[in-house]
Amino acid sequence: MKLQGLNSRGNVEKVMKDVKSQASKNAAPRKPGGLNAEIQSRIGHQLRAMYDDVVRQGVPDRFTDLIRKLDVPAAQSHVENGGGSTDQNDGRE
Amino acid sequence: MPLTDSLRDDILAAVPSLRAFAISLSGNSDRADDLVQETLLRALANIDSFQPGSNLPAWLFTILRNLFRSDYRKRRREVEDAEGNYAKTLKTHPSQGAHLEFEEFRAALEKLPQDQREALILVGASGFSYEDAAAICGCAVGTIKSRVNRARSKLAALLYVEGAEDFGPDETVRAVIGGSGG
């Protein structure tokens, strides 16, 4: 229905207006020494969102395999001297 | 201390966060994973020097940062390639509106000096205390605090003051709704 379309578009515009008005409202009284708490919290939120995006990917297999293989001291120096990262995958069964 | 099963588990548990830190330092997901691998090899080779009961993630982050620093000068060019590669690290794609905001934020972060960016990420995203972040970066606590503050101020200026005209509601809304007439 048309109404639905209008609603969703209206929401987008409203959100963006809110974002803009918050941003300009907050930016205006910013003092050189201190930051508005609202802006600080937005920055913190975005920083964590970006970081957590990678954290949520978990531990790639290559690292699990690496740690499992390298629990013997002799193996450590061997692999370090070898230096090749592609060798690590060849041993996978 | 010797490499026990539990220590091995703890090291693995730190890997996701090490990757996130490495990506934010290098701006390149392939390079970041190589950096994490080098970090793990270095940590395991020097596991005897790890003090039981001390902060394992901080120890690993220190190794990673030092590796990155020693290598950074040689590889400076790769940072310029960050934009395309960063997108590859994303498993889930945010909605377009969120994506625009995300890209804008990431681009602003790239503009920070290296010292400020790493301080902000260690404290603001990795969740380290100022003291731990100072130990990782090999500087005074006050230096970390001032770097974090300067990083926040600069991001705020880039995102909410300077960028206000470039990313105003008209352009952003137009992009979000795909220019549908009305």
pLDDT digits (tens, 9 = 90+) for B145-166: 999 999 999 999 998 875 444 4
Alpha-helical segments (H) within chain B? 5-26, 29-45, 56-79, 82-88, 96-110, 114-124, 130-137, 141-156, 169-177
Distance CA B43, CA A71 (A): 12
CB B79, CB B27: distance < 8 Å: yes
- B180 and chain A in contact, CB less than 8 A: yes
- A19 and chain B in contact, CB less than 8 A: yes
Distance CA A33, CA B155 (A): 14
pTM value?
0.66
Q: Above 50 in pLDDT, residue A68?
A: yes
| Cβ neighbours of residue B38 closer than 8 Å, sequence gap 6 or more | B67
**Range with lowest mean pLDDT among A32-36, B77-81, B115-119, B156-160:** B77-81
How confident is residue A27, by pLDDT bands cut at 50, 70 and 90? very low
Q: Above 90 in pLDDT, residue B123?
A: yes
Chain A residues whose CB is inside 8 A of the B40 CB are: 63, 66-67, 70
Q: Which of residues 1-40 of B touch A (CB under 8 A)?
A: 3, 8, 11-12, 15-17, 19-21, 23-24, 33-34, 36-37, 40
Q: How many Cα atoms occupy the beta-carbon half-sphere of B109 within 13 Å?
A: 29
pLDDT at residue number A53: 92
Task: Please state the rounded mean pLDDT for residues B116-144.
Answer: 97
- Rounded to the nearest integer, the mean pLDDT of chain B is 81
Test A43 with B156 for CB contact under 8 angstroms. yes
pLDDT at residue number A38: 86
pLDDT at residue number B96: 61
pLDDT at residue number B75: 62
Structure tokens at B142: 């006050």
Task: Name which residue leads in pLDDT, A71 or A2.
Answer: A71
Long-range contacts of A78-85 (CB under 8 A, 24+ apart): A79/B41, A80/B41, A80/B45, A85/B34, A85/B37
DSSP state of B159: I
pLDDT digits (tens, 9 = 90+) for B63-104: 999 999 987 656 654 554 554 555 555 544 455 666 777 888
Range from A40-49, B1-10, B128-137 that averages highest in pLDDT: B128-137
pLDDT at residue number B100: 74
- A85 and chain B in contact, CB less than 8 A: yes
How confident is residue A63, by pLDDT bands cut at 50, 70 and 90? very high
How confident is residue A73, by pLDDT bands cut at 50, 70 and 90? low
Q: Above 80 in pLDDT, residue B168?
A: no
pLDDT digits (tens, 9 = 90+) for B24-63: 988 888 889 999 999 999 999 999 999 988 999 999 999 9
CA distance, residue A18 to nearest chain B CA (Å):
9
Distance CA A20, CA A22 (A): 5
Q: Above 50 in pLDDT, residue A91?
A: no
Long-range contacts of B162-168 (CB under 8 A, 24+ apart): B163/B104, B163/B108, B164/A20, B164/A23, B164/A24, B164/A27, B167/B100, B167/B104, B168/A20
pLDDT at residue number A76: 46
Test B20 with A55 for CB contact under 8 angstroms. yes
Q: Above 80 in pLDDT, residue B1?
A: no
